[in-house]
Structure 1
Amino acid sequence: MRRRKKKHEDEHMDESWLIPYADLLTLLLALFIVLYAASSVDAQKFKELSQAFNEVFTGGTGIMENPSPGETQPPSDGEVKSSGAEKEEKKEKADLDKEEIERQAFLKDQEELKEIQKKVNEYIKTNNLEVQFVTKLTDEGLLLTIRDNVLFDSGSAVVHSADLNVAKELSELLVMNPPRNIIISGHTDDVPIRNAEFDSNWELSVMRAVNFMKIILENQELNPQWFSAKGFGEFEPVGDNGTAEGRGLNRRVEVLILPRVTD
């Protein structure tokens, strides 16, 4: 009896190739989705999709985590205007704050000058010097005007010995903490002067200012670096040189106490 070989009819085909095939299809699908998303003008959707694929394929770190430079969308007109308006608003607020600080500093400085003026006026009243001394708060500072006949003889720049105490007492009123810049200036009328000592009213006015300042600075509490002297001759009159009264007003020495803050 002839034996027949039994053929193995249940032999199965190897299906291991399906796994890489499925992975390949998944990757191709992902690629097409990314290409489609990249062609869309909606940058926000692309960004969200990129982040999702990064998390799936690379654990959140990869080239898809950051969009390429070509896909970076510029800010909209509304965003630009909003940002510009905010910057302008902040700048205006800063300017207003600065102006308010400066205004408050100016007002405080003016109050200090008024206090100094009050002290000088009390001194003038106590010594019956209302005719010879006048104070005025101006835009340039506190101005003290002294008639020249109080301090000097006609045509002379030497302070009367009898008035030395007036100058020294005045120096006490100029002691301030912190100190202020002080300008002492000399003025004359327009009557020409020519003597052995001076060739012009301008020279006379300069020396009167300098000599008066020297006496003021004998006060050791005053620092010379805060003082300066000027001579204007007849060129800044405050009265009419055509009258005796006007010429008397023009012959003067002025002490200007400057503000620390200007408006």
Structure 2
Amino acid sequence: MSRKHRHEEHEEHADESWLLPYSDLMTLLLALFIVLFAASAVNTSKLEALQDAFTSAFTSGIGILDQSASMQSKSELSKHAKDNPGEAGIKTETDEHQKEKLMQQEQENLEKLKKSLDQYIDKNGLSSQLETQLNQSQLMITISDTALFASGSADVKPDAQKLAVAIGQMLQGYPDYEIIVSGHTDNEPISTAQYASNWELSSKRAINFMKILLQNPAFDPKLFSAIGYGEYRPVDTNATAAGRANNRRVEVSILRKYTDSGAENTVLNAIAAEGKSDGSNP
């Protein structure tokens, strides 16, 4: 009996390769929506980190947001100053008033010191050897070299050492002032084993006198300086013995801390004119 072969019909399966790109597309869409959602919700810490990154990379320490805030702040200050011009004027007037008060107080202090020095000079009969002068830049004590040194020497005489100590005691009430000690000679040349010229002699005299002042513990050495001018800052003629005697001197200058710039320029111009008139070098 012949067996009949029955051919079963096979189902036809559709091509499913399209699912791969479709799933990729869905994944990309999902990622896009996640990114959009994350961007819409501000994360402060991440924003600050992003700002710091931009700061370091592009602006060398001033962040974009900081720069914007700074510009806004400056703009507001500028607008405030423009709207309130009187405030800047008030501050300037206050500073000027404060400076005037300090200048007035300093003037009173230096006048008091000058009075004490003048009284000491009169009491000890030193008017021919010492004098004081108060101007717009300093209080100057001028001491004749005959009161301090032997001829051609920079060693301070014993009596002159007492004078230096007394001057130091009067100055110690004003320890915060800068003090310059300057030595001057006449134009008579000197050339010894110890002093090759008047430069060395005048400098050494100024230093030696300053050292005696600095024996007073009330003084700060950093406020002191010594200068030797030699014969190049005369106050009198070198053509006469009396004039040369006046030129041989030591000056102790207590410098003002508060000065009027206009008055100071006037003093400097007067000194320059005086130097030209007597033929001295600047």
* TM-score tier after normalising by the smaller chain length: 0.5 to 0.7
**Map of 1:193 onto structure 2:** 190
State the alpha-carbon separation in 2 of the partners of residues 117 and 86 from structure 1: 50
Kept after mapping to 1: 8 A contact 2:81/2:88:
no
**Map of 1:127 onto structure 2:** 124
Q: Note the C-alpha offset of 1:220.
A: 2.5
- Which of 221, 228, 252 matches 1:224? 221
Q: Note the C-alpha offset of 1:178.
A: 4.9
Cα gap change, 1:205 to 1:98, in 2 (>3 Å)? same
Q: Note the C-alpha offset of 1:94.
A: 2.0
**Map of 2:239 onto structure 1:** 242
**Map of 1:174 onto structure 2:** 171
**Map of 2:105 onto structure 1:** 108
State the alpha-carbon separation in 2 of the partners of residues 258 and 199 from structure 1: 31
- Which of 192, 203, 206 matches 1:206? 203
State the alpha-carbon separation in 2 of the partners of residues 84 and 185 from structure 1: 50
Q: What pairs with 1:41-60 in structure 2 (closer than 5 Å)?
A: none
State the alpha-carbon separation in 2 of the partners of residues 177 and 171 from structure 1: 10
Aligned sequence identity (%): 41
TM-score for both structures, normalised by structure 1: 0.65
Cα gap change, 1:97 to 1:129, in 2 (>3 Å)? same
Cα gap change, 1:198 to 1:123, in 2 (>3 Å)? same
State the alpha-carbon separation in 2 of the partners of residues 143 and 150 from structure 1: 17
Q: Which runs of 5+ in 1 are unaligned?
A: 1-81
> Which letter maps to 1:225?
K
Describe the SS at the equivalent of 1:212: helix
State the alpha-carbon separation in 1 of the partners of residues 94 and 156 from structure 2: 49
TM-score for both structures, normalised by structure 2: 0.61
Q: Note the C-alpha offset of 1:206.
A: 0.5
Q: Say which is worse superposed, 218-227 or 129-138, in terms of deviation.
A: 218-227
Deviations 1:177-235 (A, max 9, x none): 55311111101111211112111111111000000111111222323222111111111
Q: What pairs with 1:39-188 in structure 2 (closer than 5 Å)?
A: 86-188=83-185
Kept after mapping to 1: 8 A contact 2:175/2:220:
no
Q: CA RMSD in A?
A: 1.8
Larger radius of gyration: 1
Task: Report the number of matched residues.
Answer: 182
> Which letter maps to 2:197?
S
Deviations 1:31-83 (A, max 9, x none): xxxxxxxxxxxxxxxxxxxxxxxxxxxxxxxxxxxxxxxxxxxxxxxxxxx97
Describe the SS at the equivalent of 2:169: helix
Deviations 1:117-173 (A, max 9, x none): 111111111110011000000122110000001000111111112322112122111
Cα gap change, 1:165 to 1:102, in 2 (>3 Å)? same
